[in-house]
Amino acid sequence: MFGKHSRWATALYVVGFLALGSLVAEGNRVLNLAFLIAAGTMRDIRISRLVEAASAIRKRTGVTHRPDYRQQRTFLIRMYFGAEDEKGGFTRRAYLDLSRTLHDLATVPSREDMKARATDCLRNSLLDLTKMQPSTPETLRAEFDQWHERTCRDIMRCFEGFDHFHYGQAQKWLNMTIKYRWFFSDSDPLNGWFSAAHIPVDAFVLRAAEEHEIRPTTQAPWSRWDAPEYKTFQERIRAYAKKCGVTPLEVEHCWWMKQSEP
């Protein structure tokens, strides 16, 4: 029934089904079938039977042609954040967002201990926030701000002995972690606090803010900011967000998407 070339075409057809369905568990069965056809030992088999065989394997293994939205989301989170535990992955990824500003940290012998202490501090502080409830809606921002400053200063203390860790770097680590949780978590325990959350300050945000005539009170790089200039900038962002009828995190997301356009 098959000529030499048609046998190989059919074999490739089977291999195509293997790739399309990602049939890892039972892929060898299909591959063996392809080689038998190519060798001419199964001359009477029909392509329709190959299709049926591949479909049956997909049903048994639970493999679909393409992943659904939730599978895609899980895959991207694991690829980017490198963790099954999304929240732990967010913390680690947020550290990478600021680590390039930590000049000379690589020369400090105790740097890994510093980082480990700061990581535990950040995670424990976030856990404490999930257990807190604002006294009233009117005090939400003030209570968040107090918690935020306390956490930033606790993180800075974890790097005592290293003279180049500043408030601006602590805010970036903390705010990026919160931003990732806001963006990816549908039912996060921090949901009640997100409307008061600060935006991560970096060069990207400063460029976008400049376009809206929102400027910091200092010419220093964001990574060298201290608390006063940081607080003033966040209040200006809040005022702009209120005027737009959105939260600061929504403003930052809109700016980031615009600034990142190719």
Q: Where are the domains of the chain?
A: 4-61, 76-259
Long-range contacts of 152-159 (CB under 8 A, 24+ apart): 152/227, 154/121, 154/125, 155/118, 155/121, 155/122, 158/114, 158/117, 158/118, 158/121, 159/114, 159/118
**Residue bearing tokens 């079938």:** 33
Tokens in use for 216?
């910091």
Banded model confidence at residue 24, pLDDT cuts 50, 70, 90: very low
User: Residue 35 above 60 pLDDT?
Assistant: no
Contact 202, 187 (CB under 8 A): no
The per-residue pLDDT for 1 is: 46
Banded model confidence at residue 47, pLDDT cuts 50, 70, 90: low
Rounded (5°) CA angle 171-176-182 = 125
Burial class (CB in 10 A: 0-12, 13-18, 19+), 213: exposed
The per-residue pLDDT for 2 is: 45
The per-residue pLDDT for 33 is: 52
C-alpha distances (whole Å) from 38 to each of 43, 55, 66 are 9, 21, 28
End-to-end alpha-carbon separation of the chain, Å? 54
User: Residue 21 above 50 pLDDT?
Assistant: no
User: Residue 43 above 50 pLDDT?
Assistant: no
Average pLDDT, the chain: 82
At position 159, the amino acid (one-letter code) is F
The per-residue pLDDT for 98 is: 85
Regarding predicted confidence, which is higher, 32 or 231?
Answer: 231
DSSP code, position 158: T
Q: Is pTM beyond 0.85 here?
A: no
Contact 212, 240 (CB under 8 A): yes
